[in-house]
A = this chain, B = another copy of it.
Amino acid sequence: MTSEMLKGHLDAILLAVLGAEALHGYAIIEAIRTRSGGHFDLPEGTVYPALHRLEQAGLLASHWVQPDSGRKRRVYQLTDRGRGSLVERRDGWSRFAEGVERLLGAPA
């Protein structure tokens, strides 16, 4: 599973993870690792810029939180537009995966 495969799907993954609950960046990485069944272990240099991109695009909103112990965290949550985009992207994934499986599915 090369890392090129992820291209074009990362945003959907981030939106989906944040669709379940608001999380900060580091926790998002852990959630992706856990919930993907260990399939994805994304580097910070992948996730943080993507979060900034999605916030810039108005799909996420963030605020800083100072927890009782530990350093400050930036917590992200879906905006309304983000929630709409998630729905579209889930659908987009379905159609994409369906197309790929039709092509890959039938072993020669």
Using Cβ atoms and an 8 Å threshold, which residues of chain B touch A99?
1, 36-37, 39-40
A46 contacts B by Cβ under 8 Å: no
Q: Does A36 contact B108, Cβ atoms closer than 8 Å?
A: no
Q: Does B36 contact A102, Cβ atoms closer than 8 Å?
A: yes
Q: Does B20 contact A9, Cβ atoms closer than 8 Å?
A: no
CA distance A6 to B90 in the complex (A): 15
Using Cβ atoms and an 8 Å threshold, which residues of chain B touch A8?
2-7
Give the contact stretch, choosing among A11-19, A47-55, A57-65, A66-74.
A11-19
Given contacts A5-B8, A7-B7, contact A93 B104 (CB under 8 A): yes
Q: Does B98 contact A93, Cβ atoms closer than 8 Å?
A: no
